[in-house]
Structure 1
Amino acid sequence: MIKIVIADDQELIRQSLSIVLNQREGLEVIDAVSNGQETIASIRKRRPDVILMDVRMPKMDGVQCTRIIKENYPDIKIIILTTFDDDEYVYNALKWGASGYLLKGISMDGLENAIRTVHSGQAMINPDIATKVVRLFSQMAQADYVMEVEQERSRELTKTEWKIIGEVGKGKSNREIAERLLLSEGTVRNYLSTILNKLEFRDRTQLAIWAVQKKTGRKITAPEEERL
């Protein structure tokens, strides 16, 4: 059972999402709150698996709340569910560790799929802003948000892992990576888990930023001595 907390300042949204999601097999809305402070209080008591987070809320907005939650509860997955696709919101939500960024026009089937996707450790970005996300990765990589990795850790990466990192840096999904490299999606997920552990990254977003930084001015390839 995937435990969900809904954070939105509109009561109608909270009630509607709670009713529909509770009817979906394997999903349970364990709380619905109206601002960031209530969200943090709720997760301390209930420890959800996934949070559906609005951006504009009173007392504490969704982006600030995301930062606090990911710093203290890194295993909790956060999906930003909002009507806004403003660059600053997207940038900061991903910067602080959100696993998904969806617009509220998404279908309920699409939202259910997104919840299951981020719960499994993948990222889910609304198709309407996917291109913007890739551009933001590049901006983040070239600005003051620098991902550092000890050289010894990057030397542990295999050739296949380097290829997967390169595809992540292009904003590719697990399915697209699997098709490109002739692997199964399950194999790609396993590789990504291993890569994150080797590089000590918190999530896929950090890996994507690092991948863009690595290929700035040169293609991401494994050193000749890297093993398969």
Structure 2
Amino acid sequence: MIKVLIADDQELIRESLKIVLGANEDMEVTGTAENGEEVLSQVKKEKPDVILMDIRMPGIDGVECTRLVKERYPDIYIIVLTTFDDDEYIFGALKYGASGYLLKGISMKNLAEAIRTVVSGKAMINPDITDKVVKLFNHMAQGSYSIQVDNALTEELTKTEWKVIQKIGCGMSNKEIASELALSEGTVRNYLSSVLSKLELRDRTQLAIWAVQTGAVNRYI
């Protein structure tokens, strides 16, 4: 059973999501919150698996709340819900470890699938904003959002792992990488897990930023 916490400052959205998601046999909505303070209180009591996090909330907004939750409870997955023009918030949400970035208005069926996807350990970005997020990776990598990796750690990477890093840096999904490299999705997931372990990085987002920042996306292999 996947335990979900819903955070949104609009009561109608909170209650609608609670009803619809609660209808899934594999999901339980453990609580709702209208601001970041309530999220932190609920998380402490309920320990949800996933938080649906509205990016714009009064007080502690979704970005800061993502940072605080991931610092204290790194195993909790966070899916950020946003509108298309929330560019200024995407930097922080990705930097601090959000596993998903979805547009409000996504169908309930697709939202439920997104929750299952992040719980399985994959990132989930709404297809409509994938290009925007890739551009933001570049901006983040060239700005103050620096991801540091000891050069000695990269010596353990294999040729195929470098190829996977390149594709992730270009914003490709596991399915797209599998097609490009003639591998199964399961094999790509295994390579990704190995790369994260070798480079001592937390997640796919950090790896993508590092790949752009260091020029790994343009590395000749």
State the percentage of identical aligned residues. 64
Aligned counterparts of 1:133 and 1:100: Cα–Cα separation in 2: 11
Using the size of structure 1 for normalisation, the TM-score is: 0.93
Maintained 8 Å contact 1:85/1:103: no
- Whether 1:96 aligns to 2:96 is yes
Q: Which runs of 5+ in 2 are unaligned?
A: none
1:219, distance to aligned residue in structure 2 (A): 2.1
Maintained 8 Å contact 1:163/1:221: no
Using the size of structure 2 for normalisation, the TM-score is: 0.95
Aligned counterparts of 2:75 and 2:197: Cα–Cα separation in 1: 14
Aligned counterparts of 1:209 and 1:221: Cα–Cα separation in 2: 18
Q: SS at the partner of 1:5? A: strand
Cα RMSD between the aligned structures? 1.4
Aligned counterparts of 1:102 and 1:4: Cα–Cα separation in 2: 16
- 1:179–1:76 distance in 2 versus 1, CA, 3 Å: same
- Whether 1:173 aligns to 2:154 is no
Maintained 8 Å contact 1:67/1:96: yes
Aligned counterparts of 1:75 and 1:221: Cα–Cα separation in 2: 35
Give runs of ≥4 in structure 1 deviating > 4 Å.
none
The correspondence of residues 99-114 of structure 1 with structure 2, limited to 5 A, is 99-114=99-114
Q: Which runs of 5+ in 1 are unaligned?
A: 223-228
Deviations for 1:124-162, whole angstroms, at most 9, x for unmatched residues? 111221111000100111111111111221111111111
- Alignment match, 2:6: 6
Deviations for 1:172-206, whole angstroms, at most 9, x for unmatched residues? 00110111111111111121111111111111110
The correspondence of residues 99-138 of structure 1 with structure 2, limited to 5 A, is 99-138=99-138
Maintained 8 Å contact 1:162/1:221: no
Aligned counterparts of 1:83 and 1:141: Cα–Cα separation in 2: 23
- Alignment match, 2:218: 219
- Alignment match, 2:29: 29
